[in-house]
Structure 1
Amino acid sequence: MKSPLIFLISLLTFNFSVAQDPVSKDSITELDEVILLEALKSSADNGIVPTQIIGSKVFKNYSPIDLVTSINQVSGVYILSGALNTNRITVRGIGARTLYGTDKLRLYYNNIPITNGSGFSTIESFDLENLSHIDIIKGPKGTNFGANLGGAILLNSKQPAIGSSYFRNNLTVGSYNLLKNNLLFTLQEDKLSLSLHYGHMERDGYRENNHFEQDGVLLDLNYQLSPKTVIGLLVNHVDYTAQIPSSLGLTDFKENPKQAAFTWKAAKGHEANNYSLVGLTLNHSFSEKLKNSTSIFYNYLDHYEPRPFGILDEYTHGFGFRTKFTGKFDLSQTKVAYSFGAELYKDEYNWSEFENLYKDNNGQGSKKGDLFANNKEFRRQFNAFGNLLFPLTEAFSAQIGMSINKTHYDFRDQFNEGSENMSAKRDFKPILLPSLNLNYVISDDTKVYANISRGFSNPSLEETLTPDGVINPDISQETGINYEVGTQWHLLDEKMKVNLALYRMDVKNLLVAQRVGEDQYVGKNAGKTKHQGVELEMEYNWKIGTDLTLSPFISYTYSKHQFVSFIDEGNDYSGNPLTGVPAHRLNSGIQANLSQRLYWNTTHQYVGEIPLTDANSLSSESFNIFNSKIGYRNQLAKRVYMDVSLGLNNIFDTNYARSVLINTTGFGGSEPRYYYPGDGRNFYGSLQIRYSL
């Protein structure tokens, strides 16, 4: 344990919610969902583009260490989690072929870009317990947020309610020696709004070589300089060390999923990360018809990862700005809403690799040997965007948008400095990304929408390099056209909500990872894919009595994704299902308020078979996972509020793959390693205390 004082802090720290009156029943259940200071309110703010929001109501279904799973309740979005530090977010099949990490979408924290210069995002660098809500834009229709094929995910931190200041401490303990503590102090008075979070977590994990330990601090400070101007400071720092058990072959996965991959266990493979983000934002209202939000930001990542095939030592520091103007103007007695802006991100990525002499280290794990690679890459992305929203009639509106992206890579091999062709630049041509959104309100309870938009994805760093380690001049950006129609209903006196969407996305210049060594890959453009699907979400709020309320919900995704034309190393895979995507996925559950104080939530996740090879010769097995959580909340005193909960995950102790790799190859006669086992049956308990000032 890093600090035994954590226990003492957890038990003695209170939390608060500043009203001079006692906390009411409504404030108990709704306080975490309130977002105030409208000038700072963080939302998709993207016109009539359909956006799905995950808030505290969904977060309450899951353990505080597993809030990333809450995103799986959104149809069309699937997170594969190999471990707490290894998450891969896929949206409508985009990103499913990425082997490690998340790319092909944009990630923002309080509207500050946190996706790096090659397009990779690490949601694990943020404690999701610090969030008020998450906005998800599926597909490239979010012109204001990069128009990436996978869309955009916007993380929004908690803001204190007006006149509300409090301490809140949430302590969670559970299986695998889990200890997580999250301490929050908020202050809101006059012109100042402050939220300060400190989090600590440690866990041994379900598998061998699976220990995780993390500390994080988040400061969110906002000050009203004038009635029209608010300035904000965001500081996020995360320091974590995570052992890596890696993936398993089918035999090991079925017989002993708790074991680590042999070489990773022998090397005691792990990663150590120090990540910092600092952002300064100025919001100014010039008039009722023109407002601006501008941010400047800096981030730094220091990453050290001893792997069996080499020790990676890298650091990245990046900076940039984002500005956005919004307003309205009159056109033929119609008010047209507009937005336009730009975003620039530049970073410098430095990485070195050393031999790993773990085999000669007397069982002590990794040992740094000779340097065999030393590289530097400068990366730059520029996005400009604009939208016009026309209310054509009272019921019918149209929004046209345009985004332009310009990407530049400058690679330098410092190990073979002076050798011919070992450094290179890649300047991608500007790419135009138009979008059209239509929205028709049939009634107060029903509306339909349609979208056609163009998106793109940049190749990752590994995909830009040839097997010789230089930039591939022939690699191209993936591009695609998205077609989507959908409807939203509020039925039965608004007790039932139904969302239905149908989409098709045609992607060309498909980026394919080709394996050239153990866990080493390069990229190439290999064909076209067609992404088609149906997404359905339903929720019903059933008030049975004065205090008893049941809210069943269901989220279903049908994906028919396939290669249209795909030839790889002489093999024709055209017509095969897209690798890494389940055809069927279902999330369902029920939330129950059994009284004013007692609540109970149960969730179910079904994931169908996932094709693991382009030849469609092997698939993972489908699985069902059930989780349940019960809690009790109460006001203990005028200023003290308590919430205690107990949860059980994977109730039936199912052996399942929470994440998979595709197209892996066994080396030295070993079995190909496709599977990351999910946790077995495990429990947790949380105690939250809030004390109002």
Structure 2
Amino acid sequence: MQKLIFPILFIVFSSSYAQTSVKVIDVQNELPIPGVLIKVEGGKNQSTDKNGVAQINLTKPNELVFSHIGYQILTQVVNPDGEVLIALNPLTNDLSTVTVTAFETDRPLLMQASAVSRVLENELYRFNETSIVNAFNTKAGVRVEERAPASYRISIRGSSLRSPFGVRNIKVYWNGIPFTSPDGTTPLNLLDLSNIQNTEIIKGPASSIYGAGNGGVINLESRMGIEENRISTDLNIGDFGLLRYRFGIEQQIGNGGISASYVHQKSDGYREHSGVDRKVFQMAAHMKPSEKQELSTQILYTDLYYEIPGALNSDQVVENPRQARPGSVDQNSSISQKSLYGLLSHTYQFNEYLDNQTSVFVNTTDFENPFILDYKKETAFSYGGRTKFTRNDKLGKFPIRIIAGGEYQFGKTLAQNFGNRNGQADTVRFSDDLITTQAFLFQQFEMELTPALLLTLAASENFSKYDINRTIDASANEPADNVRRFDPIIVPRFALAYKINNTSAVHGSISSGFSPPSIDEVRTNEGSLNLGLEAERGVNYELGYRSSFGIFNIDVTGFYFKLDQTITTFANEQGVVLFRNAGSTNQRGVEAQVDYSLWKNPQSIIQELKINHAFTGHYFEFADFNSGGNDFSGNQLTGVSPNTLVNQFDLRTKFGVYLNFTHQYVDKLPLNDANTVYQDAYNLVGSRIGWRSVFMGNWDLEAYLGVDNLLDESYSLGNDLNAFANRFFQPAPGRNYYGGVKVGYRF
């Protein structure tokens, strides 16, 4: 009897788990591809051997996902047929295959009539993984400054003139919601790199779709779709007491999934009193209730604390660049911010012609800022949303796309300013109940006049208001309710994109922009209310060319931006930064990005050698500018480097070893409106070398080492403009090192 049972069990077992031999080859040369990760739905992941073969147990047809760093990801249903041949397409950087979502329209980059730069996830991880600074600064026309760790200032085409601190004059979105607060400020330092997967940067006014902001728009996206069950952890250490660690988990559930991550980053800082401590927790869920709709939700909580060392004059820099500004330590000059975001996004496809995307959010923030001159406390609550309808249709024989929607934000803040006695809040100086509202409607009409010519007409109608109810005023002024309502502004845009052939195109546009003053510019730190401050208005003329030929990708844009009612900064006798409208500026520039692969063969030991160049020429000047009885007309725009060049070299090998090398040249730039003080030109060189690999189909491993400022240059990564008492300089670290490891497991 036993002699019969065992053969029967063997036959049943063999028929239940039919082993399928999968061979993966290159579609171009038909050579086998080793190291391809094969994700098996409901089963154990595998990877191909040196002959490009993997043995997979299948009981029925199953959906497999094939991925390799040098090839396009392929998803295919595989039958348990014994032997299966899979062909993968090598990855290319051809601009005709790149799709961007700028101006709310998914089109190939070649047919985008705007200057758009992308920052991909792999570009964020070419550098030390503590901030966005280095990756963003590799893009033409974009400049991110970090005056102290976690203290960001972002300039797109010189838009930081009115930003002594913080991010202004730029609209930032995160996962479809406005991350820029209704008061005009953007707490970009609340995000860790792990909260960002891909980024699109629109350079120049985009108010026809995104509302306020002359500088441009930054669209940030975190990882939404869950493709696998995975746990992962990172550890990053470096000079100046740097320690960063992360834990993450992703779990598939039906057609969607959930993910969660926690990141803790801390450091002592290069300078005295420049430490940072940031904890970030993010949880996300993505669902597909039906074929017609998708639903996503996110929770983001950040607990951020960082010290502010303050700016130095030139003598103090020579004496000791690592010292803090006198008084910063005694007064505990710093920022403590706890913020919670909750957001919900819904997409619905009514039919093949019409769809809708709607996102809503709520945010609460506790903020404390002891400074040398005062102590600020704020408790804020805000909510808002954005909705967009898209209809694809035809007008006669011409394909058209109509986009229409709106955005609304409401914020309420209890803002109190105290005296600062040895880092502690003293007597209240003034207290305000602030209510800020921002709203706009937008419409966009696109028509394909020919298969190669796309016309875009767009406009938005914008409304904004500040209510400042002063409940306490320790000065001679009586408490009062103040309202600053900005006149409704209509902002148009006209654009054309023409495809010369399948790999090259030209584009041109005329677009208006506007930027009302932020609440920090209207309600100043010494207690005055600058209710007469007007919104900046500008018109941008732009012409660009994009092309892919052979190994080269080229993207060049020239522009002229005329800005009126320019908001500039100055300091009063106490050193408090104040703001005023000061004439107009002429901003002419050229931005060029070129990349090419000297070698690309996923089959060889050296799989890729890639070089990238980015040049920024910003030749900006004050057209009509009088300040304090001085005529600065014709002077170079403050804080803008006329020439910037970035060179990148990337090497990737078959064994998982990679090398990234980056050089950045920044021309000298004026630090005051009179153009009498400059920061010298400097060269930054950095490199990262590492090794990444996949083991047993389920384990991802990576180890890396890197160096920043290899030449040990003396420079400021962010300067104080028009600084009081000549305190212009915020010295950046000299040569410094970092390293880390990453481990991931798919289950």
Question: What TM-score does the superposition give when structure 1 sets the normalisation length?
Answer: 0.91
Match of 2:153 among 88, 95, 109: 88
Alignment correspondent of 1:284: 348
Give the secondary structure class of the aligned counterpart of 1:210: coil
Alignment of 1:194-213 (within 5 A): 194-213=258-277
Letter of the 2:69 counterpart: T
Match of 1:659 among 696, 711, 718: 718
1:481 aligns with 2:532: no
Match of 2:126 among 47, 61, 64: 61
- Offset of residue 475 of structure 1: 1.8
Structure-2 separation of matches of 1:324 and 1:140? 20
Alignment of 1:292-691 (within 5 A): 292-358=356-422, 366-416=423-473, 420=478, 422-465=480-523, 469-492=527-550, 495-543=551-599, 546-548=604-606, 549-666=608-725, 672-691=726-745
Matched-pair contact (CA < 8 Å) for 1:104–1:148: yes
Deviations 1:401-454 (A, max 9, x none): 001111101111111399547431011111010001100000111100001000
Alignment correspondent of 1:21: 45
Alignment correspondent of 1:9: none
Structure-2 separation of matches of 1:18 and 1:304? 50
Distance 1:467 1:27, change over 3 A: closer
Structure-1 separation of matches of 2:431 and 2:667? 42
Distance 1:486 1:367, change over 3 A: same
Matched-pair contact (CA < 8 Å) for 1:462–1:523: no
Matched-pair contact (CA < 8 Å) for 1:18–1:166: no
Structure-1 separation of matches of 2:40 and 2:438? 43
- Offset of residue 470 of structure 1: 4.9
Give the secondary structure class of the aligned counterpart of 2:688: strand
Higher mean C-alpha displacement, 479-488 vs 18-27: 18-27
Distance 1:465 1:205, change over 3 A: closer
Deviations 1:272-294 (A, max 9, x none): 11011111111111111111011
Give the secondary structure class of the aligned counterpart of 2:439: strand
- Offset of residue 518 of structure 1: 4.2
Match of 1:109 among 170, 174, 178: 174
- CA-atom RMSD in angstroms: 2.3
Distance 1:42 1:389, change over 3 A: closer
Alignment correspondent of 1:252: 316
Deviations 1:566-613 (A, max 9, x none): 011111100101101011111111010133411000001111111111
- Offset of residue 147 of structure 1: 5.4
Give the secondary structure class of the aligned counterpart of 1:58: helix
- Offset of residue 196 of structure 1: 1.2
- Offset of residue 66 of structure 1: 3.0
Structure-1 separation of matches of 2:331 and 2:435? 31
Give the secondary structure class of the aligned counterpart of 2:729: strand
Matched-pair contact (CA < 8 Å) for 1:42–1:111: no
Question: What TM-score does the superposition give when structure 2 sets the normalisation length?
Answer: 0.85
Alignment correspondent of 1:8: none
1:216 aligns with 2:216: no
Distance 1:127 1:519, change over 3 A: farther
Structure-2 separation of matches of 1:567 and 1:32? 56
Percent of matched pairs sharing the same residue: 26
- Offset of residue 182 of structure 1: 1.9
Deviations 1:326-350 (A, max 9, x none): 1212211222011110000010122
Distance 1:465 1:321, change over 3 A: same
Letter of the 2:585 counterpart: T
Higher mean C-alpha displacement, 390-399 vs 467-476: 467-476
- Offset of residue 269 of structure 1: 2.0
Structure-2 separation of matches of 1:245 and 1:578? 26
- Offset of residue 231 of structure 1: 1.5
Letter of the 1:159 counterpart: M
Deviations 1:288-341 (A, max 9, x none): 111101111111221112212111111221111111111212211222011110
Structure-1 separation of matches of 2:396 and 2:724? 64
Matched-pair contact (CA < 8 Å) for 1:118–1:458: no
Distance 1:575 1:690, change over 3 A: same
Higher relative contact order (CA 8 A, sep 6+): 1
Count of residues in Structure 1 that have an aligned counterpart in Structure 2? 659
Match of 1:273 among 324, 337, 349: 337
- Offset of residue 684 of structure 1: 1.0
Structure-2 separation of matches of 1:467 and 1:233? 37
Higher mean C-alpha displacement, 261-270 vs 323-332: 261-270
Give the secondary structure class of the aligned counterpart of 1:660: coil
Matched-pair contact (CA < 8 Å) for 1:604–1:625: yes
- Offset of residue 516 of structure 1: 2.3
Letter of the 1:124 counterpart: N
Give the secondary structure class of the aligned counterpart of 2:718: strand
Letter of the 1:356 counterpart: N
Structure-2 separation of matches of 1:252 and 1:638? 56
- Offset of residue 191 of structure 1: 2.4
Distance 1:588 1:448, change over 3 A: same
Alignment correspondent of 1:145: 210
Matched-pair contact (CA < 8 Å) for 2:207–2:460: no
Structure-1 separation of matches of 2:329 and 2:245? 29
Distance 1:34 1:638, change over 3 A: closer
Alignment correspondent of 2:197: 132
Alignment correspondent of 1:12: none
- Offset of residue 504 of structure 1: 0.6
Letter of the 1:374 counterpart: S
Distance 1:477 1:32, change over 3 A: farther
Distance 1:438 1:179, change over 3 A: same
Deviations 1:655-678 (A, max 9, x none): 111100111121xxxxx2111111
Distance 1:378 1:18, change over 3 A: farther
Letter of the 1:481 counterpart: V
Matched-pair contact (CA < 8 Å) for 2:212–2:516: no
Distance 1:203 1:18, change over 3 A: farther
Matched-pair contact (CA < 8 Å) for 2:119–2:198: yes
Deviations 1:34-55 (A, max 9, x none): 99xxxxx994363334322110
Matched-pair contact (CA < 8 Å) for 1:160–1:188: no
- Offset of residue 394 of structure 1: 1.1
Match of 1:157 among 211, 222, 238: 222
- Offset of residue 30 of structure 1: 7.2
Distance 1:45 1:562, change over 3 A: closer
Deviations 1:481-503 (A, max 9, x none): 000000101021xx211110000
Structure-1 separation of matches of 2:72 and 2:532? 50
Matched-pair contact (CA < 8 Å) for 1:467–1:516: no
Q: Gaps (5+ residues) in structure 2? A: 1-37, 53-65, 76-98, 106-111
Structure-2 separation of matches of 1:679 and 1:33? 40
Q: Gaps (5+ residues) in structure 1? A: 1-15, 36-40, 359-365, 667-671
Structure-1 separation of matches of 2:580 and 2:169? 16
Alignment correspondent of 1:362: none
* Larger Cα-atom Rg: 2
Higher mean C-alpha displacement, 595-604 vs 142-151: 142-151
Matched-pair contact (CA < 8 Å) for 1:18–1:692: no
Matched-pair contact (CA < 8 Å) for 2:207–2:514: no
- Offset of residue 32 of structure 1: 12
Matched-pair contact (CA < 8 Å) for 1:97–1:579: no
1:122 aligns with 2:226: no
